[in-house]
Structure 1
Amino acid sequence: MSVPAIPTALPEVEVGTAPRRAAPLAVLCHTGDPLPTPTARATELSSDWMGAVALTGKVGEVQPGPAGSAVRWVAGIGDGEPGQWRAAGAALIRAHNGRLADGGPSADRNLQLELPADATGDQVTELVWGLRLGGYTFVVSGEPDQQRSRTVRLVTADDSAELSAAAARAAVLTRATALARDLANTPSNIKDPAWLARMATRTAGRAPGVDAVVRDHHWLAEQGFGGVLAVGGGSARPPRFIQLSWGRRGAPHVVLVGKGITFDTGGISVKPAEGMHLMRTDMSGGAAVIAAVEAIARLGPDVRVTGLVPCAENHMSGSAYRPGDIVRHYDGRTTEVTNTDAEGRMVLADALAYAVANLSPDLIVDVATLTGAMKISLGLRTGGLFASSDDVADRLLAAGERAGERWWRMPLTSDAGSVDGEFLDAVSSDIADVRQHPPGPGAIAAALFLREFTAGLPWAHLDIAGPARAERTYDEVTAGATGFAARTLIELVSAYETKSRRS
């Protein structure tokens, strides 16, 4: 069985002063005063027409233009804040794709959008995110692909290097988001650890300057990756370990670690059947890391980055690991297993210990769909952020702001309200060094467990269990895997200009 080509083709966006002949034209309007921008189009969009269609200019509103006008679409951008441009772009591209799916002519696959003279780089960035990601789909089907938007030309009054640069950079970030979605959406009868490793080498591994190394289960056994081997031991498809490296030695070094569980039954501590089909996206953290490394290599900041993705399937069989087992990790530390469905922290622990021992990182960030508790705490659109210091947390919160991804800092250390004294003892085990699934707040307990393997280095843990999947379409997000965290990681590394003080 074949799946859609990876990475998914997104509409190309270009900026220029000359409109294209015959391509459908779109314009924008604001809330409260829904005159089109640029205002030269107001003569084509009469007040009678605006009243007839009840044009409001609210965010995400898209109206077909009047008959006889050169304007095919009018899209609302609300008050014009940058984030509202993203929603407008997504709504516009969906309307355009819908028309093409209903039999619109092939020539209409090239859309153009006139920008107001005062459009900023931030607004264009958000607009491009919406235009390129809003129409994303991933469908495994025997039916032929429907026609979709091919290019979008942003028409400006004057040449603008700022807007062109903003659009070009936004294209790199949206490619990363789409790749992360692709990897997570692929069904697990196709996607196993070996497949994910191959895709990492074919995508990020082919970016300029990236060194991609894939290790198999024999190497993992020789090196003592007990957590990865335990989790993957119940599957007939053995685990892998992906390492992606880019950047010059001597530059600040950020290590990104992503959970790569290609399917999760829960193991012997089996999950409920309801919702288990969604576990094909349980490697969304690993997908975000793979996509981020590729994008960082294309953007070229003076930062060294290493992406680590421990990959395994968590299945039930006679060789599966059990509650009560003692597992020895890469650094020799031992873990008492109390719940085999808490498998993500087991594989991340090995990767974190490997990073500490071999990579001399200035900062380590792990990202994972780790706990259902985080979905209860923060819902489905906000990621949980745990950090070893205020500086690390501030860097990530700022990166998320630039990336259009929402994070909330959770308590972990005295910098954000101490929980150490209350819950840290629970991580201790009577028969091993640490206990894998202690009682207490699930997301905090998981973060405290992972911190045991960071050797006190600057570190953050990102729990994306909620926003990694969407139940319905909103803004530039489509139902299914969202690619959440990829853009935040890119922005974090791109801005990491100076070495952090080790705490």
Structure 2
Amino acid sequence: MHTSVPALPTALPEVEVSTTARRATPLAVLCRSGDPTPAPVTRETELTGEWMRAVALTGKAGEVQPGPVGSAVRWVAGVGEGEPDQWRTAGAALTRALNARIDTDTHAGRAAERTIQLELPADAGPDHIADLVVGLRLGGYGYVVSGEPEPPRVRTIRLVVGDKAGELEAAAHRAAVLAQATALARDLANTPSNVKDPAWLARMATRTAGRAPGVDATVRDHHWLAEQGFGGVLAVGGGSTRPPRFVELAWGRRGAPHVVLVGKGITFDTGGISIKPADGMHLMRTDMSGGAAVIAAVEAISQLGPDVRVTGLVPCAENHVSGSAYRPGDVVRHYGGRTTEVTNTDAEGRMVMADALAYAVERLAPDLIVDVATLTGAMKVSLGLRTGGVFASEDAVFDRVRAAGERVGERWWRMPLPSDAGTVGDEFAEAVRSEIADVRQCPPGPGGIAAAMFLREFTGGLPWAHLDIAGPARADRNYDEVTAGATGFAARTLVELVSSYSL
């Protein structure tokens, strides 16, 4: 049964930059660990050493304390040693504390203060502000099921920065756009799959493009996919009554460096005939997190306006079990003619992405292809739940991905990509060959590496990076700016990566 379409994206608090504080607006201040005196110290008579000792104020990153009774300072938030990423943690913790107080006041029938100003120390730089804004906006994120009322949340946070507003406003604006991209990716991935089928995801991509300046959106249906030979997408989507779609989002001028982003858009994954265990299958509504990150990134890139050209491709399908589902042992012909021997229908992501990669090579001829997917459980075993894996065709490509992630607070680790040229691990390189088709869907070897080697077959030798986000795409609890559920991981990295190619 389908329910109504949620009102996406989730509203995040607006963040303003100001040179002056307003007397009537509640105030929050920041403090560092070691010397937890809030800085700037403009209210030292209100935040006494006696009060600090009474509440055991440490200033560690993420610590939030209500201010003294009767003080103009309502909240004190710790930023640890003051590193930029600790400011992101502090911002998220402060927003969560504000929302909790608003919720308590609302339920008690008291007037809830939904605007606050945060006084910043004089040495706050653009990097600090950027991380703080991401934390402030995302820390209070919460997906709201369609039809349910929005919970009361903080609406506006004013950053009081003294006389440096000019140099900090640009950093705050960019961070606000990045945070909104992360939130949109979370919204799309968190939406339940009785609502979210391939057609729905395509509509959301089109709607997102409609509010993004200069983005052209094209959606192709299963008839077009059949005419063009997208055998991977059609095979995976063949078991569902809800047919697949192929989304193409384009922005930027011709002649600029061209980056193609490919995102896995599996709106629900039962595993197909190679069915998954029931335990944990409900999380497969987030199996299109890669596609969500691509949709959100293209919108954010259009808002920031770097001199690049970006194309986002999202093959959308639902991997279901039925009499028309594809089978182990099938041979599937992809876009462009290359064939795959199917060995496990639960390795469906690489099947749909192979079509999209081949399409990107033949139709778009980009300077760089980046694909992103919740692809293998092996990556969770290798890197845990907070780090994404990167398989890169060139050192320079990996360096750009890593640097982009560092700038936006997303962690990446390079994984080996064996070649046929006698490098370490080349014993796996030939395993991708099939005796009855061009390639095997699941060649023997380490799961994450095997998947990357399969995808490489469809990249045409172009510069390429494969981002496996199976671990960090979902969270079972809140930490830093992340909230439980879909995390929106990779959206910010994609924006920064594409922007790094700006002329």
Aligned to 1:468: 473
Does structure 1 retain, via aligned residues, the 8 Å contact 2:271–2:345?
yes
* Over 6 Å off, 4+ runs: 414-417
One of 433, 446, 465 as aligned partner of 1:441 = 446
Alignment of 1:369 onto 2:371: no
Match of 1:16 in 2: 18
1:23 touches 1:107 (CA, 8 Å); kept in 2?
Answer: no
TM-aligned CA deviation for residue 159 of structure 1: 4.0
Letter in 2 for 1:204: A
Counterpart CA distance in 2 for 1:31 and 1:83 is 14
Matched position secondary structure for 1:39: coil
**Are residue 382 (structure 1) and residue 364 (structure 2) matched?**
no
Q: How do 1:146-225 and structure 2 match up within 5 A?
A: 146-225=151-230
- 1:62, 1:73 within 8 Å by CA — same for their partners in 2? yes
User: How far apart, CA to CA, are the structure 2 residues paired with 1:156 and 1:306?
Assistant: 38
C-alpha displacement of 1:94: 0.4
Q: Which amino acid in 1 is paired with 2:327?
A: R
Match of 1:501 in 2: none
Aligned to 1:43: 45
The correspondence for 2:75, drawn from 73, 76, 91, is: 73
Q: Does 1:134 align with 2:134?
A: no
Distance 2:314 2:82 in 1: 39
SS in 2 for 1:422: coil
**Which of the numbers 443, 457, 463 marks the counterpart of 1:452?**
457
Matched residue type, 1:97: N
- Deviations, residues 263-286 of structure 1 (Å, cap 9, x unaligned): 000000000000000000000000
Output the CA distance in 2 between the equivalents of 1:106 and 1:186: 32
Amino acid at match of 2:202: A
CA distance in 1, matches of 2:190, 2:379: 21
Distance across 2 between alignment mates of 1:235 and 1:141? 24
Residue 259 of structure 1 aligns with an amino acid whose one-letter code is K
* Contact residue 89 and residue 130 of structure 1 kept, 8 A: yes
Q: Equivalent of 2:314, from 309, 312, 315?
A: 309
SS of the residue 1:484 aligns to: coil
How far 1:4 sits from its partner (Å)?
A: 4.3
In structure 2, C-alpha distance between the alignment counterparts of 1:350 and 1:231, rounded to whole Å: 11
* Alpha-carbon distance in 1 for matches of 2:28, 2:415: 43
Q: Give the alignment's TM-score, normalised by structure 1.
A: 0.97
Contact 1:4 1:138 in 2 (8 A): no
Whole-angstrom CA distance in 1 between matches of 2:6 and 2:317? 23
Q: Which is further off, 369-378 or 205-214?
A: 205-214
SS in structure 2 opposite 1:305?
strand
In structure 2, which of residues 96, 103, 115 is the aligned counterpart of residue 101 of structure 1?
103
Q: Which moved more, 1:17-26 or 1:309-318?
A: 17-26
- Retained in 1: the 8 A contact 2:66–2:75? yes
Matched-pair contact (CA < 8 Å) for 2:19–2:165 = no
Alignment CA distance shift 1:106-1:148 (3 Å): farther
CA distance in 2, matches of 1:22, 1:412: 59
Q: Higher mean Cα deviation, 102-111 or 70-79?
A: 102-111
Specify the SS of the correspondent of 1:393. Answer: helix
Pairing 1:246–2:251 present: yes
Aligned counterpart, 1:57: 59
Q: Give the aligned CA root-mean-square deviation in angstroms.
A: 1.5
Contact kept, 8 Å, 1:255 with 1:355, in 2: the verdict is yes
Residues 107-126 of structure 1: per-residue CA shift (max 9 Å, x gap): 61011100111110000000
- Does 2:434 match 1:432? no
1:139 deviation in Å?
3.1
8 Å Cα contact 1:412/1:418 also seen in 2: no
Q: 1:87 to 1:3 in 2, by over 3 A?
A: farther
3-state DSSP class of the match of 1:273?
Answer: coil
d(CA) in 1 for partners of 2:233, 2:424: 28
Whether 1:289 aligns to 2:294 is yes
> Aligned-pair distance for 1:206?
2.8
Q: What percentage of residue pairs aligned between the two structures are identical? A: 80
Give the distance between the partners of 2:357 and 2:328, measured in 1 at CA: 23
Give the superposition deviation at 1:43.
1.6
For 1:409-456, what per-residue CA distance to the aligned partner results, in whole angstroms no more than 9, with x for missing partners?
000147999355210111110100000011210000000000000110
Q: Structure 2: give runs of 5+ residues left out of the alignment.
A: none
Q: In structure 2, how many angstroms separate the alpha carbons of the residues matched to 1:21 and 1:161? A: 22
Distance 2:132 2:98 in 1: 15
Question: CA shift at 1:146, angstroms?
Answer: 2.3
Aligned partners of 2:146, 2:211: CA distance in 1, in Å? 28
Letter of the 1:489 counterpart: L
Are residue 496 (structure 1) and residue 501 (structure 2) matched? yes
Q: Against the structure 1 CA distance between its residues 354 and 143, is the aligned structure 2 distance closer, same or farther, given a 3 Å change threshold? A: closer
Decide whether the 8 Å contact of 1:374 with 1:466 is kept in 2. Answer: yes
The verdict on how the C-alpha distance between 1:106 and 1:208 changes in structure 2, with shifts beyond 3 A counting, is farther
Q: 1:255 to 1:494 in 2, by over 3 A?
A: same
Counterparts of residues 472-483 of structure 1 (less than 5 Å): 472-483=477-488
1:320-339 equivalences under 5 Å are 320-339=325-344
Contiguous gaps of at least 5 residues in structure 1: 499-503
Q: Offset of 1:363 from its aligned partner?
A: 0.2
CA contact (8 A) 2:344 2:441 kept: yes
Shift of 1:463: 0.1
**C-alpha distance in 2, partners of 1:343/1:39?**
57
The residue type paired with residue 149 of structure 1 is: V
What's the CA shift for 1:79?
0.2
Q: CA deviation at 1:21?
A: 3.6
Question: What SS does structure 1 have at the residue aligned with 2:43?
Answer: helix
**Is 1:205–1:294's contact at 8 Å kept on the other side of the alignment?**
no
One-letter code aligned to 1:464: I
- Whole-Å separation in 2 of the counterparts to 1:141 and 1:61: 33
